[in-house]
Chains A and B, each alone.
Chain A
Amino acid sequence: MKDMPPKIALKAINWNRIQDDKDLEVWNRLTVNFWLPEKVPLSNDVPSWATLTPAERELTIRVFTGLTLLDTIQNTVGAPSLMPDAQTPHEEAVLTNIAFMEAVHARSYSSIFSTLCSTPEVDAAFRWSEENPHLQAKARMIVDEYKAHETPNKRKIASVFLESFLFYSGFYLPMYWSSRAKLTNTADLIRLIIRDEAVHGYYIGYKYQRATEKLPESERAALKDFAFSLLLDLYDIESKYTEELYDGIGQTEDVKKFLHYNANKALMNLGYEALFPPQVSEVNPAILSALSPDSENHDFFSGSGSSYVIGKAVATEDDDWDF
Protein backbone atom coordinates (compact mmCIF):
# COMPACT_ATOMS: atom_id res chain seq x y z
CA MET A 1 0.00 0.00 0.00
CA LYS A 2 3.02 2.28 0.09
CA ASP A 3 2.31 3.56 -3.43
CA MET A 4 -1.06 5.02 -2.49
CA PRO A 5 -1.18 8.85 -2.74
CA PRO A 6 -1.58 10.69 0.57
CA LYS A 7 -5.21 10.69 1.58
CA ILE A 8 -7.25 13.78 2.31
CA ALA A 9 -8.94 13.38 5.68
CA LEU A 10 -12.63 12.64 5.55
CA LYS A 11 -14.36 15.35 7.52
CA ALA A 12 -17.16 15.07 10.05
CA ILE A 13 -19.63 17.94 10.06
CA ASN A 14 -19.38 20.24 13.08
CA TRP A 15 -22.56 22.21 13.70
CA ASN A 16 -20.82 24.17 16.41
CA ARG A 17 -18.50 25.76 13.84
CA ILE A 18 -20.76 27.56 11.40
CA GLN A 19 -19.24 29.40 8.42
CA ASP A 20 -22.55 30.75 7.14
CA ASP A 21 -25.32 31.65 9.62
CA LYS A 22 -27.96 31.10 6.90
CA ASP A 23 -27.18 27.37 6.90
CA LEU A 24 -28.16 26.98 10.54
CA GLU A 25 -31.13 29.36 10.23
CA VAL A 26 -32.55 27.41 7.27
CA TRP A 27 -31.74 24.00 8.78
CA ASN A 28 -33.69 24.99 11.90
CA ARG A 29 -36.59 26.35 9.90
CA LEU A 30 -36.87 23.26 7.67
CA THR A 31 -36.56 20.73 10.47
CA VAL A 32 -39.15 22.51 12.65
CA ASN A 33 -41.51 22.68 9.65
CA PHE A 34 -41.18 18.95 8.91
CA TRP A 35 -44.52 17.25 8.18
CA LEU A 36 -46.01 14.15 6.56
CA PRO A 37 -49.21 13.86 4.52
CA GLU A 38 -50.75 11.56 7.14
CA LYS A 39 -51.18 14.58 9.39
CA VAL A 40 -53.75 16.13 7.01
CA PRO A 41 -57.29 14.64 7.14
CA LEU A 42 -57.63 14.32 3.37
CA SER A 43 -60.60 11.94 3.63
CA ASN A 44 -62.74 14.90 4.76
CA ASP A 45 -62.55 16.04 1.14
CA VAL A 46 -64.36 12.97 -0.21
CA PRO A 47 -67.81 14.65 -0.22
CA SER A 48 -66.36 17.78 -1.82
CA TRP A 49 -64.58 15.74 -4.51
CA ALA A 50 -67.95 14.24 -5.45
CA THR A 51 -69.30 17.73 -6.25
CA LEU A 52 -66.66 18.31 -8.98
CA THR A 53 -67.62 17.60 -12.58
CA PRO A 54 -65.73 14.84 -14.40
CA ALA A 55 -63.78 17.51 -16.33
CA GLU A 56 -62.87 19.32 -13.11
CA ARG A 57 -61.68 16.06 -11.56
CA GLU A 58 -59.59 15.22 -14.58
CA LEU A 59 -58.06 18.72 -14.49
CA THR A 60 -57.25 18.36 -10.79
CA ILE A 61 -55.61 14.96 -11.16
CA ARG A 62 -53.60 16.16 -14.15
CA VAL A 63 -52.40 19.25 -12.32
CA PHE A 64 -51.30 17.07 -9.40
CA THR A 65 -49.41 14.61 -11.61
CA GLY A 66 -47.64 17.61 -13.17
CA LEU A 67 -46.63 18.77 -9.69
CA THR A 68 -45.55 15.24 -8.80
CA LEU A 69 -43.21 15.22 -11.79
CA LEU A 70 -41.51 18.45 -10.70
CA ASP A 71 -41.16 17.20 -7.11
CA THR A 72 -39.71 13.92 -8.38
CA ILE A 73 -37.10 15.79 -10.42
CA GLN A 74 -36.18 18.08 -7.56
CA ASN A 75 -35.94 15.08 -5.19
CA THR A 76 -33.82 12.81 -7.38
CA VAL A 77 -31.89 15.17 -9.67
CA GLY A 78 -32.22 18.84 -8.69
CA ALA A 79 -31.27 19.05 -5.03
CA PRO A 80 -28.59 16.31 -5.31
CA SER A 81 -27.03 18.12 -8.29
CA LEU A 82 -26.39 21.15 -6.05
CA MET A 83 -24.48 19.16 -3.44
CA PRO A 84 -21.07 18.96 -5.18
CA ASP A 85 -21.06 22.79 -5.35
CA ALA A 86 -21.93 23.30 -1.68
CA GLN A 87 -19.61 25.79 -0.03
CA THR A 88 -20.01 24.44 3.48
CA PRO A 89 -20.73 20.98 4.94
CA HIS A 90 -23.86 22.51 6.50
CA GLU A 91 -25.10 23.56 3.08
CA GLU A 92 -24.81 19.93 1.97
CA ALA A 93 -26.84 18.86 4.99
CA VAL A 94 -29.54 21.43 4.22
CA LEU A 95 -29.68 20.16 0.62
CA THR A 96 -30.25 16.61 1.82
CA ASN A 97 -33.21 17.91 3.83
CA ILE A 98 -34.54 19.74 0.76
CA ALA A 99 -34.15 16.59 -1.36
CA PHE A 100 -36.01 14.48 1.19
CA MET A 101 -38.87 16.94 1.60
CA GLU A 102 -39.33 16.94 -2.18
CA ALA A 103 -39.83 13.18 -1.89
CA VAL A 104 -42.44 13.82 0.82
CA HIS A 105 -44.20 16.29 -1.48
CA ALA A 106 -44.19 13.85 -4.40
CA ARG A 107 -45.50 11.15 -2.06
CA SER A 108 -48.30 13.45 -0.82
CA TYR A 109 -49.98 13.69 -4.21
CA SER A 110 -50.31 9.92 -4.22
CA SER A 111 -51.99 10.17 -0.80
CA ILE A 112 -54.50 12.61 -2.30
CA PHE A 113 -55.07 10.23 -5.22
CA SER A 114 -55.57 7.15 -3.09
CA THR A 115 -58.03 9.05 -0.87
CA LEU A 116 -60.13 10.72 -3.56
CA CYS A 117 -59.68 9.08 -6.93
CA SER A 118 -60.14 5.78 -8.75
CA THR A 119 -57.09 3.86 -9.95
CA PRO A 120 -57.97 4.05 -13.68
CA GLU A 121 -58.33 7.85 -13.60
CA VAL A 122 -55.02 8.21 -11.76
CA ASP A 123 -53.24 5.85 -14.15
CA ALA A 124 -54.62 7.84 -17.08
CA ALA A 125 -53.30 11.08 -15.58
CA PHE A 126 -49.81 9.64 -15.07
CA ARG A 127 -49.85 8.57 -18.73
CA TRP A 128 -50.95 12.09 -19.62
CA SER A 129 -48.01 13.55 -17.67
CA GLU A 130 -45.60 11.50 -19.77
CA GLU A 131 -47.25 12.51 -23.02
CA ASN A 132 -48.06 16.17 -22.47
CA PRO A 133 -45.54 18.12 -24.58
CA HIS A 134 -45.57 21.29 -22.47
CA LEU A 135 -45.09 19.53 -19.15
CA GLN A 136 -42.33 17.39 -20.63
CA ALA A 137 -40.67 20.43 -22.23
CA LYS A 138 -40.45 22.49 -19.06
CA ALA A 139 -39.23 19.52 -17.01
CA ARG A 140 -36.66 18.72 -19.70
CA MET A 141 -35.39 22.29 -19.83
CA ILE A 142 -34.66 22.21 -16.09
CA VAL A 143 -33.14 18.71 -16.10
CA ASP A 144 -30.81 19.73 -18.95
CA GLU A 145 -29.44 22.53 -16.76
CA TYR A 146 -29.03 20.17 -13.82
CA LYS A 147 -27.09 17.71 -15.94
CA ALA A 148 -24.88 20.29 -17.67
CA HIS A 149 -21.33 20.15 -16.35
CA GLU A 150 -19.30 23.05 -15.01
CA THR A 151 -22.24 25.39 -14.54
CA PRO A 152 -23.02 25.38 -10.83
CA ASN A 153 -24.53 28.87 -10.89
CA LYS A 154 -26.84 27.98 -13.75
CA ARG A 155 -27.97 24.91 -11.81
CA LYS A 156 -28.92 27.21 -8.93
CA ILE A 157 -30.86 29.48 -11.28
CA ALA A 158 -32.75 26.50 -12.74
CA SER A 159 -33.43 25.21 -9.23
CA VAL A 160 -34.87 28.53 -8.02
CA PHE A 161 -37.09 28.71 -11.10
CA LEU A 162 -38.39 25.21 -10.42
CA GLU A 163 -39.00 25.92 -6.71
CA SER A 164 -40.33 29.48 -6.99
CA PHE A 165 -41.95 29.67 -10.44
CA LEU A 166 -42.77 26.39 -12.21
CA PHE A 167 -44.90 24.92 -9.41
CA TYR A 168 -47.37 27.77 -9.45
CA SER A 169 -49.37 26.93 -12.56
CA GLY A 170 -50.27 23.85 -10.52
CA PHE A 171 -50.60 25.40 -7.05
CA TYR A 172 -53.17 27.82 -8.45
CA LEU A 173 -55.83 25.12 -8.76
CA PRO A 174 -56.09 23.93 -5.12
CA MET A 175 -56.05 27.61 -4.04
CA TYR A 176 -58.87 28.27 -6.51
CA TRP A 177 -60.91 25.32 -5.19
CA SER A 178 -60.21 26.41 -1.63
CA SER A 179 -61.44 29.94 -2.37
CA ARG A 180 -64.72 28.29 -3.47
CA ALA A 181 -64.81 26.18 -0.28
CA LYS A 182 -63.89 22.97 -2.17
CA LEU A 183 -61.15 20.44 -1.32
CA THR A 184 -60.13 22.55 1.68
CA ASN A 185 -58.12 19.78 3.37
CA THR A 186 -56.21 19.16 0.17
CA ALA A 187 -55.50 22.91 0.11
CA ASP A 188 -54.13 22.66 3.66
CA LEU A 189 -51.67 20.02 2.49
CA ILE A 190 -50.70 22.07 -0.57
CA ARG A 191 -50.07 25.08 1.67
CA LEU A 192 -47.52 22.99 3.60
CA ILE A 193 -45.79 22.23 0.31
CA ILE A 194 -45.93 25.91 -0.71
CA ARG A 195 -44.35 26.90 2.59
CA ASP A 196 -41.47 24.45 2.07
CA GLU A 197 -40.88 25.55 -1.53
CA ALA A 198 -40.65 29.16 -0.32
CA VAL A 199 -37.79 28.26 2.02
CA HIS A 200 -36.08 26.18 -0.70
CA GLY A 201 -36.23 29.00 -3.28
CA TYR A 202 -35.08 31.53 -0.70
CA TYR A 203 -32.11 29.43 0.40
CA ILE A 204 -30.91 28.35 -3.05
CA GLY A 205 -31.36 31.93 -4.27
CA TYR A 206 -29.31 33.16 -1.35
CA LYS A 207 -26.53 30.66 -2.14
CA TYR A 208 -26.62 31.87 -5.74
CA GLN A 209 -26.14 35.47 -4.57
CA ARG A 210 -23.20 34.44 -2.37
CA ALA A 211 -21.61 32.38 -5.15
CA THR A 212 -21.86 35.15 -7.74
CA GLU A 213 -21.12 38.29 -5.72
CA LYS A 214 -17.36 38.02 -6.19
CA LEU A 215 -17.41 37.16 -9.91
CA PRO A 216 -16.17 39.72 -12.44
CA GLU A 217 -18.87 42.07 -13.70
CA SER A 218 -18.90 40.47 -17.18
CA GLU A 219 -19.64 37.02 -15.75
CA ARG A 220 -22.33 38.42 -13.50
CA ALA A 221 -23.96 40.15 -16.47
CA ALA A 222 -23.83 36.95 -18.54
CA LEU A 223 -25.48 34.97 -15.72
CA LYS A 224 -28.18 37.58 -15.36
CA ASP A 225 -28.88 37.43 -19.11
CA PHE A 226 -29.03 33.66 -18.87
CA ALA A 227 -31.47 33.82 -15.94
CA PHE A 228 -33.88 36.22 -17.65
CA SER A 229 -33.78 34.34 -20.94
CA LEU A 230 -34.33 30.96 -19.22
CA LEU A 231 -37.25 32.49 -17.34
CA LEU A 232 -38.81 33.78 -20.56
CA ASP A 233 -38.33 30.40 -22.27
CA LEU A 234 -39.98 28.66 -19.33
CA TYR A 235 -42.71 31.28 -19.31
CA ASP A 236 -43.55 30.57 -22.96
CA ILE A 237 -44.06 26.91 -22.13
CA GLU A 238 -45.96 27.72 -18.94
CA SER A 239 -48.35 29.94 -20.90
CA LYS A 240 -49.22 27.10 -23.27
CA TYR A 241 -49.49 24.61 -20.40
CA THR A 242 -51.76 27.02 -18.54
CA GLU A 243 -54.02 27.58 -21.55
CA GLU A 244 -54.36 23.87 -22.16
CA LEU A 245 -55.30 23.17 -18.55
CA TYR A 246 -57.32 26.19 -17.53
CA ASP A 247 -59.22 27.34 -20.64
CA GLY A 248 -61.87 24.78 -19.77
CA ILE A 249 -62.71 26.45 -16.46
CA GLY A 250 -62.16 29.96 -17.85
CA GLN A 251 -59.29 30.80 -15.47
CA THR A 252 -56.35 31.12 -17.85
CA GLU A 253 -55.93 34.89 -17.51
CA ASP A 254 -56.16 34.68 -13.74
CA VAL A 255 -53.53 31.93 -13.64
CA LYS A 256 -51.18 33.96 -15.85
CA LYS A 257 -51.25 36.85 -13.39
CA PHE A 258 -50.33 34.35 -10.70
CA LEU A 259 -47.44 33.14 -12.90
CA HIS A 260 -46.17 36.71 -13.38
CA TYR A 261 -46.38 37.38 -9.66
CA ASN A 262 -44.42 34.23 -8.85
CA ALA A 263 -41.87 34.78 -11.63
CA ASN A 264 -41.14 38.15 -10.03
CA LYS A 265 -40.68 36.50 -6.65
CA ALA A 266 -38.34 33.88 -8.15
CA LEU A 267 -36.19 36.68 -9.59
CA MET A 268 -36.15 38.43 -6.22
CA ASN A 269 -34.88 35.21 -4.61
CA LEU A 270 -31.94 35.39 -7.02
CA GLY A 271 -31.38 39.02 -6.04
CA TYR A 272 -32.79 40.45 -9.26
CA GLU A 273 -35.49 43.00 -9.95
CA ALA A 274 -39.01 42.03 -11.02
CA LEU A 275 -39.67 41.45 -14.72
CA PHE A 276 -43.45 41.61 -15.07
CA PRO A 277 -45.03 45.03 -14.39
CA PRO A 278 -47.56 45.50 -11.57
CA GLN A 279 -50.63 45.72 -13.82
CA VAL A 280 -50.17 42.13 -15.08
CA SER A 281 -49.02 40.74 -11.72
CA GLU A 282 -51.95 41.65 -9.51
CA VAL A 283 -53.25 38.34 -8.30
CA ASN A 284 -56.95 37.79 -7.68
CA PRO A 285 -57.47 38.67 -3.97
CA ALA A 286 -59.42 35.43 -3.45
CA ILE A 287 -56.32 33.47 -4.46
CA LEU A 288 -54.06 35.60 -2.26
CA SER A 289 -56.26 35.03 0.75
CA ALA A 290 -56.41 31.31 -0.02
CA LEU A 291 -52.61 31.40 0.05
CA SER A 292 -52.43 33.09 3.47
CA PRO A 293 -55.89 32.55 4.94
CA ASP A 294 -55.33 33.73 8.50
CA SER A 295 -52.87 36.50 7.79
CA GLU A 296 -54.18 39.89 8.88
CA ASN A 297 -54.45 41.89 5.69
CA HIS A 298 -55.28 45.18 7.30
CA ASP A 299 -52.61 47.82 7.27
CA PHE A 300 -52.35 51.59 7.59
CA PHE A 301 -51.01 52.56 4.16
CA SER A 302 -53.48 50.50 2.14
CA GLY A 303 -56.28 52.41 3.85
CA SER A 304 -58.45 49.32 3.95
CA GLY A 305 -60.15 50.46 7.17
CA SER A 306 -61.16 53.65 8.93
CA SER A 307 -58.58 53.32 11.69
CA TYR A 308 -55.57 51.16 12.32
CA VAL A 309 -55.66 48.19 14.62
CA ILE A 310 -52.91 46.97 16.84
CA GLY A 311 -52.30 43.28 16.52
CA LYS A 312 -53.72 40.65 18.82
CA ALA A 313 -51.47 38.81 21.25
CA VAL A 314 -49.11 36.34 19.61
CA ALA A 315 -46.76 33.72 20.97
CA THR A 316 -43.14 34.83 21.28
CA GLU A 317 -40.24 33.74 23.41
CA ASP A 318 -40.56 35.73 26.62
CA ASP A 319 -36.86 35.80 27.40
CA ASP A 320 -36.26 37.61 24.12
CA TRP A 321 -38.73 40.31 24.98
CA ASP A 322 -38.00 41.32 28.55
CA PHE A 323 -38.70 45.03 28.08
Chain B
Amino acid sequence: MGDLIYFSSATGNTARFVARLGLPAMRLPMRADGPMPSPVRPYALICPTYADGQGRGAVPKSVIRFLNDPARRGLLRGVIGTGNRNFGAMFGLSARVISEKCAVPVLYKFELAGTETDIDRVRAGLADFWGTECLTMA
Protein backbone atom coordinates (compact mmCIF):
# COMPACT_ATOMS: atom_id res chain seq x y z
CA MET B 1 0.00 0.00 0.00
CA GLY B 2 1.31 3.45 -0.89
CA ASP B 3 1.13 6.54 1.26
CA LEU B 4 -1.58 9.15 1.49
CA ILE B 5 -0.95 12.89 1.52
CA TYR B 6 -3.65 15.53 1.83
CA PHE B 7 -4.33 19.24 2.05
CA SER B 8 -7.04 20.61 4.30
CA SER B 9 -7.68 24.28 4.97
CA ALA B 10 -8.92 25.74 8.24
CA THR B 11 -12.46 24.49 7.53
CA GLY B 12 -11.10 20.98 8.12
CA ASN B 13 -13.40 19.09 5.74
CA THR B 14 -10.64 16.99 4.19
CA ALA B 15 -8.97 16.46 7.57
CA ARG B 16 -12.25 15.06 8.92
CA PHE B 17 -12.54 12.76 5.90
CA VAL B 18 -9.00 11.46 6.39
CA ALA B 19 -9.58 10.92 10.13
CA ARG B 20 -12.64 8.77 9.36
CA LEU B 21 -10.79 6.92 6.62
CA GLY B 22 -8.47 5.60 9.31
CA LEU B 23 -5.39 5.30 7.08
CA PRO B 24 -2.03 6.84 7.96
CA ALA B 25 -1.69 10.13 6.13
CA MET B 26 0.57 13.17 5.99
CA ARG B 27 -0.96 16.67 5.99
CA LEU B 28 0.45 19.44 3.85
CA PRO B 29 0.91 22.80 5.60
CA MET B 30 -1.94 25.31 5.29
CA ARG B 31 0.45 28.01 4.14
CA ALA B 32 2.78 27.47 1.21
CA ASP B 33 5.80 28.49 3.31
CA GLY B 34 5.16 25.79 5.96
CA PRO B 35 7.26 22.65 6.43
CA MET B 36 6.59 20.04 3.69
CA PRO B 37 6.48 16.29 4.30
CA SER B 38 9.07 14.22 2.40
CA PRO B 39 7.46 11.08 1.01
CA VAL B 40 9.80 8.15 0.31
CA ARG B 41 7.18 5.83 -1.20
CA PRO B 42 4.53 6.30 -3.92
CA TYR B 43 1.49 8.14 -2.65
CA ALA B 44 -2.00 9.30 -3.53
CA LEU B 45 -2.94 12.94 -2.94
CA ILE B 46 -6.29 14.25 -1.67
CA CYS B 47 -6.80 17.85 -2.74
CA PRO B 48 -9.71 20.27 -2.26
CA THR B 49 -10.68 22.84 -4.91
CA TYR B 50 -10.79 26.61 -4.49
CA ALA B 51 -11.57 27.66 -8.06
CA ASP B 52 -13.40 30.86 -8.94
CA GLY B 53 -16.09 30.94 -11.63
CA GLN B 54 -13.42 30.77 -14.36
CA GLY B 55 -11.46 27.96 -12.73
CA ARG B 56 -8.57 30.12 -11.52
CA GLY B 57 -6.87 29.28 -8.25
CA ALA B 58 -8.27 25.73 -8.11
CA VAL B 59 -5.16 24.15 -6.56
CA PRO B 60 -4.03 25.47 -3.16
CA LYS B 61 -0.62 27.18 -3.19
CA SER B 62 0.75 24.75 -0.62
CA VAL B 63 -0.05 21.81 -2.93
CA ILE B 64 1.55 23.61 -5.87
CA ARG B 65 4.71 24.22 -3.88
CA PHE B 66 4.78 20.60 -2.74
CA LEU B 67 4.42 19.30 -6.30
CA ASN B 68 6.95 21.75 -7.70
CA ASP B 69 9.69 19.56 -6.20
CA PRO B 70 10.53 16.89 -8.84
CA ALA B 71 11.42 14.20 -6.26
CA ARG B 72 8.12 14.64 -4.42
CA ARG B 73 6.14 14.94 -7.66
CA GLY B 74 7.78 11.79 -9.05
CA LEU B 75 6.18 9.63 -6.36
CA LEU B 76 2.62 10.88 -7.02
CA ARG B 77 0.48 8.06 -8.47
CA GLY B 78 -3.06 9.41 -8.35
CA VAL B 79 -5.22 12.25 -7.09
CA ILE B 80 -8.54 12.38 -5.25
CA GLY B 81 -10.41 15.66 -5.69
CA THR B 82 -12.81 17.23 -3.23
CA GLY B 83 -15.16 20.18 -3.51
CA ASN B 84 -18.83 20.95 -3.85
CA ARG B 85 -21.06 20.05 -6.77
CA ASN B 86 -22.70 23.47 -6.36
CA PHE B 87 -19.71 24.89 -8.19
CA GLY B 88 -20.88 23.16 -11.36
CA ALA B 89 -18.11 22.52 -13.85
CA MET B 90 -15.54 23.53 -11.24
CA PHE B 91 -16.49 20.65 -8.92
CA GLY B 92 -13.26 18.89 -7.92
CA LEU B 93 -11.36 20.83 -10.59
CA SER B 94 -8.05 20.75 -8.70
CA ALA B 95 -7.88 16.96 -9.22
CA ARG B 96 -8.25 17.43 -12.97
CA VAL B 97 -5.58 20.16 -13.03
CA ILE B 98 -3.11 18.00 -11.08
CA SER B 99 -3.99 14.94 -13.16
CA GLU B 100 -3.18 16.81 -16.34
CA LYS B 101 -0.04 18.50 -15.05
CA CYS B 102 1.42 15.37 -13.47
CA ALA B 103 0.00 12.71 -15.83
CA VAL B 104 -1.65 10.69 -13.08
CA PRO B 105 -5.27 9.48 -12.92
CA VAL B 106 -8.13 11.18 -11.08
CA LEU B 107 -8.97 8.37 -8.68
CA TYR B 108 -12.16 9.77 -7.20
CA LYS B 109 -14.09 12.92 -6.32
CA PHE B 110 -16.21 13.65 -3.28
CA GLU B 111 -17.98 16.62 -1.68
CA LEU B 112 -16.95 18.48 1.49
CA ALA B 113 -16.07 15.98 4.26
CA GLY B 114 -17.43 12.99 2.31
CA THR B 115 -20.20 10.53 3.09
CA GLU B 116 -20.04 6.95 4.38
CA THR B 117 -20.27 5.84 0.77
CA ASP B 118 -17.24 7.96 -0.12
CA ILE B 119 -15.24 6.51 2.78
CA ASP B 120 -16.04 2.94 1.65
CA ARG B 121 -15.21 3.67 -1.97
CA VAL B 122 -11.93 5.40 -1.22
CA ARG B 123 -10.83 2.71 1.22
CA ALA B 124 -11.63 -0.12 -1.22
CA GLY B 125 -10.42 1.88 -4.20
CA LEU B 126 -7.02 2.65 -2.67
CA ALA B 127 -6.52 -1.00 -1.64
CA ASP B 128 -7.28 -2.11 -5.22
CA PHE B 129 -5.23 0.67 -6.72
CA TRP B 130 -2.07 -0.12 -4.76
CA GLY B 131 -2.59 -3.83 -5.51
CA THR B 132 -2.70 -2.99 -9.21
CA GLU B 133 0.32 -0.71 -8.87
CA CYS B 134 2.37 -3.54 -7.30
CA LEU B 135 1.42 -5.93 -10.10
CA THR B 136 2.31 -3.31 -12.70
CA MET B 137 5.67 -2.68 -11.11
CA ALA B 138 6.58 -6.39 -10.66
| Chain A contact residues, CB within 8 Å of chain B | 20-22, 25, 28-29, 32-33, 191, 194-195, 197-198, 202, 205-206, 209-210, 264-265, 268-269, 271, 273-274, 277-278, 281, 288, 291-296, 298-302, 308-317, 320-323
Contacts and interface: CB of A to CB of B under 8 A. Distances in A.
A313 B88 contact: no
Contacts of B25: none
Contacts of A29: 50, 52
Contacts of A32: 52-54, 56
B97 A271 contact: no
B121 A301 contact: yes
Nearest to B124: A301
Nearest to B105: A308
13 contacts: A33-B52, A194-B88, A206-B10, A265-B84, A268-B113, A288-B85, A293-B89, A295-B92, A299-B108, A301-B122, A301-B125, A310-B105, A311-B100
Contacts of A308: 105-106
A191 B115 contact: no
A217 B31 CA distance: 29
Interface of A is mostly: loop
A316 B129 CA distance: 28
A210 B11 CA distance: 9
Nearest to A276: B115
A198 B84 contact: yes
Interface of B: 9-13, 16, 30-31, 50, 52-59, 61, 64, 67-68, 70, 73, 78, 84-93, 95-97, 99-101, 103-109, 111-113, 115-117, 121-122, 124-125, 128-129
Nearest to B65: A320
Contact of B86 (A195, A277, A299): A195
Contacts of A315: 54-56
A206 B11 contact: yes
Closest 7 CB pairs of A and B: A301-B125, A198-B86, A294-B89, A311-B96, A308-B105, A301-B108, A268-B112
A191 B90 CA distance: 12
Contacts of A273: 113
B129 A278 contact: no
Contacts of A299: 106-109
A291 B85 CA distance: 7
Contact of B112 (A195, A210, A265, A323): A265
A239 to B, nearest CB: 21
A278 B87 contact: no
Given A197-B86, A316-B59, A323-B67, 7 more contacts: A291-B85, A295-B88, A300-B129, A311-B106, A314-B100, A321-B68, A323-B73
A300 B125 contact: yes
Given A265-B84, A313-B100, A315-B56, A295 B11 contact: no
A295 B89 contact: yes
Nearest to A266: B112
B48 to A, nearest CB: 11
A312 B84 contact: no
A28 B51 CA distance: 11
A21 B121 contact: no
Contact of B11 (A194, A209, A274, A317): A209
Contact of A292 (B85, B103, B112): B85
A320 B61 contact: yes
Given A301-B125, A310-B103, A291 B108 contact: no
B73 to A, nearest CB: 7
B99 A310 contact: yes
Nearest to A205: B11
Contacts of B103: 310
A314 B93 contact: yes
Given A310-B99, A320-B61, A291 B89 contact: no
Given A308-B105, A316-B56, A292 B88 contact: yes
Given A274-B115, A274-B116, A310-B103, A268 B86 contact: no
Contact of B84 (A202, A264, A321): A202
Contacts of B97: 311, 314, 316
A198 B107 contact: no
A33 B90 CA distance: 12
